[in-house]
Amino acid sequence: MPTEAHPKLDSLLRQGIADQAFPGAAYACLARGKEFTGYIGNQTYDLDSPAISDHSLFDLASLTKVLVTTTAALLQAMDGALILDQAIQELVPDFIGKGKENVTIRHLLQHNSGLPAHREFWKLSDAERWRGILSEPLEAPAGDRTAYSCVGFLVLQQVLQTLTGERYDDAWTWGFHRLCSKLDAELLFNPTNTSRCVPTEGGLQGVVHDENARSLGGIAGNAGLFGTLEGVRKLVNLVTFGEPSVLDTRLLNQWRVRQAVKDASSTRALGWDTRSDIGPMSGSRFSSDSFGHSGFTGTSIWIDPNAEIGVVLLTNRVFPTRDNLRLQALRPRFHDLAFELLCEGE
């Protein structure tokens, strides 16, 4: 299907660059029989820096959680190796601490394990880092409250590694990479051609922005993935429209809906998030059944299964500093406009 940019979407993102919400952006807005794809701006605010293009590799940050870690878990579930309600300690005995015998794989995916949002494990020595991650105390009993947790997805990485039964440290990612190979999707860890990578905070280029992922060699359950817009688009296309020969569509549908949990405020699906009624990043047009995720560096995916549309927006809003929050106001406007153009015409 031929794709092209849309002048209204381009104009909105150019205004974002003018307002210094980000130096550059790429987008893909997908519907059946219609698609808009665009590349706006440069790698940095220096107009002599390389233009954003179909070759640009973005640090996808926490999109790693859904594109890699959740997908790897789903593939393990398809093979019957992953059981959502299995206790973590049965698979990872070093996951120790008060109340942690009650934490399950489902809790990690739902972000209600009781683990904290973030810890600076990167400050620990290489020898102590995984010990610190696995022995991190719970802040609440498993299942009691929902709190987005990068720590939980590092633990999930170890669970998936155990389930692979392979001695290689990155074996937990192999199912994901086989899927990318089928789709011919350029999504990878530790890119070698760093000149293609869109810089993040402090001018990091080709090195993951997240400090914990960086300290773990750039391959982690919470962050580390780089990708082109086309690479992300291909995976989002699969999740939006389904392809039973590649992914179990019925199982996928079960994973991407909001879970029934004790914490009534939770918007979490399995790995994915769903639309919040309070300041939704998806804007005002996406349905209550929509789901997606964002990444700290300025990346996001949002999918509406009712309207059968998917929207990818990739930026490097953390260049030159993570303190830049201007993207927060622009993103919902972008989603509203994309929904209008995809569902209601020009």
Q: In CATH, what is the architecture of 7-343?
A: 3-Layer(aba) Sandwich (3.40)
Q: What is the pLDDT of residue 300?
A: 98
Entry field: residues in the chain: 346
Query: Mean pLDDT for each consecutive 10-residue tract of the chain (346 residues)?
Result: 86 98 98 96 97 98 98 96 98 98 98 98 97 98 97 98 94 97 97 97 97 98 98 96 86 93 94 91 95 98 97 98 97 98 83
Tell me if residue 143 falls in helix, strand or coil. Answer: coil
Q: What is the pLDDT of residue 2?
A: 54
Q: Which residues of 42-64 are buried (b: 16+ CB within 10 A; e: fewer)?
A: bbbeeeeebebeeebbbbbbbbb
Running DSSP on this structure, what letter comes out for residue 83? -
Give the span between the Cα atoms of 318 and 322, in whole angstroms. Answer: 4
Give the span between the Cα atoms of 15 and 13, in whole angstroms. Answer: 5
